[in-house]
Chain A
Amino acid sequence: MSELTITALRFGFLLLLWVLIFSIVSAMRRDLMIGRKAATGAPTARQVRKNPELAEPAPAPAKQQARQLVVTEGPLKGRTVPLAASPILLGRAQEATLVLEDDYASGRHARLFPQGSRWFIEDLGSTNGTYLADQQLTRALPVDLGVPVRIGKTVIELRP
């Protein structure tokens, strides 16, 4: 086999390697685009470029974030707990983040956790139940600002 063919094959192989990689990346790129469209429902940058009317108006002012948890009723009335990014355990047990001195609360009563930009409350199988705006929790539900959450005799609220 001539020197020239071998050199051509050599470079051809390197080219083939990168063709494989670029086809994989382009397959992935389409895959990621599908995910993004599905996730936000927003038009992609390319679609906006082609049809300028798709461009969204200026984004609405950001919703107020909950920054603290306030106890509005019960033995601990007036207590506030700052909210960070970690979940909060509510109950009488000593390891709870907010230890409720409330005879009607269970040891590990409920859990308040952030998901995206919202906070969710979830009952941890308590004896007397957790009520979100007078509705007993059967699953995790988002807690909006100012909505009372009742645990035993204690009522808590999220505040900005």
Chain B
Amino acid sequence: MSHADTMPKPRRNVELLLLVLALSVSIGANALTSIDEQTSLDTDFWFQSSLLAVASLVFHVVLRLRAKYADPVILPLVVALNGLGLAMIHRLDAPGDDTGNNQLRWTVIAMAVAIAVIWFLKDHRVLRRFTYISLAVSALLLILPLVPGISAGEILGARVWIRLGPMTFQPGEVAKITLAIFFAGYLSSNRDLIMLAGRKIGPMQFPRFKDMGPMITAWLVSIGVLIFQRDLGSSVLFFGLFIVMIYVATSRISWVVIGLTLILGGGFVASKVFSHVALRVDSWLNAFTEEVFGRSPGGSGQIVEGLFGMASGGLVGTGLGQGRPNLVPFANSDMIIASFGEELGLIGLFAIVMMYLLLFTRGFRAALGTRDAFGKLLACGLSFAVALQCFVVIGGVTRLIPLTGLTTPFLAAGGSSLLANWIIVGLLLMISHTARGPVDTSPMQPGRTPEAQKPAAPAGGRQDRNATQTLPDAPTEAVKHL
């Protein structure tokens, strides 16, 4: 086996070095916005910078203590993205606005939660025991915004927020994690059944209904609730997650074909039935016609102004703090990519897209490296969720696809999204820790998942039987290789 030949290296010093570079990007961005606005670096600036630096370094130390072999580039990438977002939100704050500081508070909370995940979870395989619980939790989270009393009502045409004391929270963001856990747990146990059993119709093989039941239910719940909440973006996100995880688990291209057909068909039906979807599609196709531009609600003004902003940025941008991105509505949340396009130009925007791409590849690297099917599926699902979110947002802002209300991970203003994405980072770091770390060959201890102790796939007969003993909900016949 490959991992036996070389000693795995923790590479935490590389991470520290890259983290310092990432922090200099974040703090540099914040400083530039202040300099360009002709204000001196005030105590506010120093407070924000030191808070971000301290939080990231604490995260780094926790990784040294708890997940020594975690991937060294994930944390710097995320800190750089989050820092850029903070600087831009702070820069877009009109006098008296508090969005920047609010975002900083949420960053610290989110990092603390991610640290707690790494500190207390220790091993991602524990999550597999919560397969069906996480399905129930996802359903609950998705239904919460519709419950009167907790619901924050309809904000900007979507009912996706709940009220928690003085704050609002978007439970759908957390639901994408719990859904990914459910899909990973369910598919890693029932993969073979779905692949082997079932009838063949033409070139495609369809699984038996009883094997697919829970998956279809999960999908219907997420889609159904989202139709009632009128949140197109999350609906696309959950559906994409569903298709990709089942494709990764079974490697059947027929799933992708079925999925794309359903998306296109569903999108066509939705654009005929739901007025808000029809408006979105219309303002995407006919963005530059006068009546669509000025229409309210559902006009294309936001997209077109964002495009004008990016055009005025050109190749190298106007410089941080020197453009006028605040002319675009929601410049600090939905349209933050357009704000970056204007002030950092194509070169800067590509740097940001590149960071997302690198983050995504690291997630998949963790999935390739880890030795259990559940971890593989979970890492694939989570990193794909982040990537799909980027595609939907950046594609929408650049008018490649209709604009939908998803948040740009780590950049956009919004606490729930930040929290959910930092939890995803925590989980990816845990998975990469087991993927890159040395194989634990010590004797099994009671109470721990036996899969954790044993190396790789082919030598798997025994460990599978052990796994079934500790996991009562896993079917006995299931074989859990990927």
Contacts and interface: CB of A to CB of B under 8 A. Distances in A.
Answer whether A and B are interacting partners. Answer: yes
Interface of A: 1, 6-7, 9-11, 13-14, 16-21, 23-25, 27-28, 31, 34-35, 37-39, 41, 86-87, 89, 95, 97, 108, 111, 113, 115, 120, 122-125, 137-142
Contacts of B481: 113, 115
Contacts of A125: 465, 476-477
A139 B197 contact: no
Contacts of A142: 458
A125 B300 CA distance: 62
B185 interface: no
B438 interface: no
Interface in B417-431: none
Contact of B18 (A14, A20, A86, A139): A20
Nearest to A110: B461
Contact of B344 (A14, A23, A89): A14
A137 B479 CA distance: 16
B54 interface: no
Contacts of A10: 32, 316-317, 319-320, 322
Interface of B: 2-3, 5-6, 9, 11, 14, 17-18, 21-22, 24-25, 28-29, 32, 35-36, 38, 72-73, 76-77, 80, 192, 195-197, 316-317, 319-320, 322, 344-345, 347-348, 351, 354-355, 358, 361-362, 369, 457-462, 465, 476-477, 479, 481
A95 B195 contact: no
B461 A1 contact: no
Contacts of B460: 122, 139-140
Given A14-B347, A19-B21, A9 B32 contact: yes
Contact of A139 (B22, B192, B461): B461
Contact of B320 (A13, A19, A108, A139): A13
A35 B406 CA distance: 36
Given A17-B348, A137-B461, A139-B461, A34 B6 contact: yes
A21 B465 contact: no
Nearest to B477: A108
A13 B32 contact: yes
Contacts of A89: 192, 196
B5 A38 contact: yes
Given A9-B35, A120-B458, A139-B462, A14 B317 contact: yes
Contact of A13 (B29, B38, B73, B80): B29
B77 A24 contact: yes
A124 B479 contact: yes
B235 to A, nearest CB: 32
A2 to B, nearest CB: 11
A123 B481 CA distance: 14
Task: Pick the most buried of A9, A14, A17, A27: most chain B CB atoms within 10 A of its CB.
Answer: A17
A35 B316 CA distance: 37
A27 B197 CA distance: 44
Contacts of B458: 115, 120, 140-142
B25 A16 contact: yes
A124 B477 contact: yes
Report, nearest first, the 9 A-B pairs whose CB atoms are least far apart.
A139-B461, A10-B319, A17-B351, A95-B197, A39-B2, A38-B2, A38-B6, A38-B5, A24-B73
Nearest to B358: A24
Contacts of A1: 35, 38
Contacts of B32: 9-10, 13
A90 B14 CA distance: 50
Contacts of A115: 457-458, 481
A21 B354 contact: yes
A23 to B, nearest CB: 6
Given A6-B35, A11-B316, A122-B461, A16 B28 contact: yes
A34 B9 contact: yes
A41 B5 contact: yes
27 contacts: A6-B319, A9-B32, A10-B316, A13-B25, A14-B316, A14-B317, A14-B348, A16-B25, A16-B28, A17-B348, A20-B18, A31-B72, A34-B9, A37-B6, A38-B2, A39-B2, A87-B196, A89-B196, A108-B477, A113-B481, A115-B458, A122-B461, A123-B461, A124-B479, A139-B460, A139-B462, A140-B460
Given A6-B319, A13-B348, A125-B476, 10 more contacts: A14-B344, A17-B25, A20-B21, A23-B21, A27-B11, A28-B362, A31-B11, A113-B481, A125-B477, A140-B460
Contact of A97 (B36, B77, B196): B196
A137 B351 CA distance: 53
Contacts of B72: 27, 31
Contacts of B461: 122-123, 137-140
A13 B28 contact: yes
A87 B11 CA distance: 38
Contact of A38 (B3, B17, B197, B320): B3
Nearest to B476: A125
Nearest to B456: A115
A139 B479 CA distance: 12
A34 B347 CA distance: 31
Contacts of A108: 477
A86 B197 contact: no
Contact of A21 (B14, B196, B351, B361): B351
B316 A27 contact: no
A27 B14 contact: yes
Given A6-B36, A123-B461, A28 B358 contact: yes
Given A20-B22, A37-B6, A27 B465 contact: no
